Amino acid sequence: MTDVRPESRPESRLGQPELPAPRGEVSERVVAALRHPAVGVPDDCGPCDPYGEDLQLALYVLYELHYQGFDGVADEREWDPRLIALRGALERRFLYALRVDAAPTADAAQTLDALLVEPAGHDDASVTHHLQRDGELWQFREYAALRSLYHLKEADPHLWVVPRLHGRAKAAMAAVEYDEFGAGRQDRIHARLFAELMRDLGLETSYGHYLDTAPAPALATVNVMSLFGLHRALRGALVGHFASVEVTSSPGSRRLAAALRRLGAGPAAQHFYDEHVEADAVHEQVVRRDVIGGLLDAEPDLDADVAFGVRATGFLEDRLAERLLTPWRQGRSALRVPLPAESAA
């Protein structure tokens, strides 16, 4: 009999994904340059939409060179100065838009407190409320396919901040990340648990498989983590992003676990969110008290950056929610390329 225990299954990140199909002039030049090193890349993207398909895909591809890379692309391209220069130009456009659209209106503590207030009744703008109450299985499969772009590398972008912290903040951040990476057990790594969820939903589990299906708002929620993580100057914003994720994860995961039970998904699918209900309730307290508290005790001038990270996270998640819920309520796929009715993992 074939051993099908989770620890015996292939690791989703053993292989490198294919380069995606371009979505505009800039992403086309980036993909062409990665296929053929002699091809030049532009210095900027001109008047491109900072939240649009072309910029977000180009930025996603450039960031992925720091993670898993792409099939047929040499590892040395990660630090190609031409690609780094273009990435910087794209980042500046994206970051400027976020600073305008998600400017903090309160300090870090007040901004985080606002996340703890659950809306009265049903939140019609919330993906997790929709999936718990009215969602159909095909909608949850789409949601999981999009979230796989992050969850199959869960916690990796946040780990970049650890060398930029010290003392209480560093120790607490490392403790939370240790849990995210399975507390020393490969079968408990959260990315592995999400791959098991995808198998229960009949989805392909290979890393980056659903990149071509993901609209720009989904890419932006992943790109912002890399943007904050790769820049020491944005360490406060990354801590704010991490805190926002941990504060909202437990109640959101509870709703998603309930949705999967209602839809009759398998035990591995339910387990991923059940795990986050308990773990992230504890992490929330550690992040607020020790990660943020330790950071701001040492560097109080980063308070506004932490608040900005929280606000930027919520802004981008709200844009993604609208992009998902509008077509779903019309009975249409929210993906750029709809999933097959059934997909064997």
139 and 287 part of one domain: yes
38 and 114 part of one domain: no
209 and 296 part of one domain: yes
CA–CA dist 72, 37 (Å, integer): 11
For residue 275, the model assigns a pLDDT of: 80
Give domain status of residue 230, yes or no.
Answer: yes
Q: What are 145-169's pLDDT values in tens digits?
A: 999 999 999 889 999 999 999 999 9
Give domain status of residue 119, yes or no.
Answer: yes
Give domain status of residue 204, yes or no.
Answer: yes
229 and 284 part of one domain: yes
Give domain status of residue 334, yes or no.
Answer: no
255 and 174 part of one domain: yes
Reported for 215-218, long-range contacts at CB under 8 A and 24+ positions apart, including other chains, are 215/53, 215/323, 215/334, 215/335, 215/336, 216/51, 216/52, 216/53, 216/55, 216/56, 216/57, 217/51, 217/316, 217/319, 217/320, 217/322, 217/323, 218/146, 218/149, 218/320, 218/323
198 and 228 part of one domain: yes
- Does the pLDDT at position 312 exceed 60? yes
Q: What are 40-54's pLDDT values in tens digits?
A: 898 888 889 999 999
262 and 121 part of one domain: yes
Mean pLDDT of 299-325: 98
For residue 274, the model assigns a pLDDT of: 86
At residue 233, the 3 state secondary structure works out as helix
Lowest mean pLDDT among 128-142, 220-234, 242-256, 308-322: 242-256
For residue 345, the model assigns a pLDDT of: 42
Residue with tokens 């901004």: 111
**Residues in the chain, how many?**
345
Mean pLDDT of 51-58: 98
Number of structural domains (the chain) is: 2
134 and 72 part of one domain: no
36 and 147 part of one domain: no
- Are the C-beta atoms of residues 236 and 305 closer than 8 Å to each other? yes
Could you give the percent of the chain with pLDDT greater than 70? 92
126 and 240 part of one domain: yes
Give domain status of residue 40, yes or no.
Answer: yes
Give domain status of residue 3, yes or no.
Answer: no
CA–CA dist 102, 114 (Å, integer): 14
Residue 303 to residues 14, 116, 162, 300, 310, Cα–Cα distance (Å): 39, 19, 18, 6, 11
Domain end point (choices 100, 123, 144): 100
For residue 2, the model assigns a pLDDT of: 36
For residue 182, name the pLDDT band (cuts at 50, 70, 90): confident
Residue-number span of the structural domain to which 276 is assigned: 107-329
Tokens at residue 117, please? 């207030």
Mean pLDDT of 167-180: 93
Contacts of residue 92, defined as CB under 8 A and 6 or more positions apart, other chains included, come to none
Domain end point (choices 82, 100, 118): 100
52 and 148 part of one domain: no
Amino acid in the structure at residue 224: V
E-strand stretches of 116-261 = none
Give domain status of residue 298, yes or no.
Answer: yes
- Does the pLDDT at position 254 exceed 60? yes
Give domain status of residue 43, yes or no.
Answer: yes
For residue 3, the model assigns a pLDDT of: 38
For residue 15, the model assigns a pLDDT of: 79
Domain end point (choices 48, 77, 100): 100
Give the domain CATH number at 257: 1.20.910.10
69 and 87 part of one domain: yes
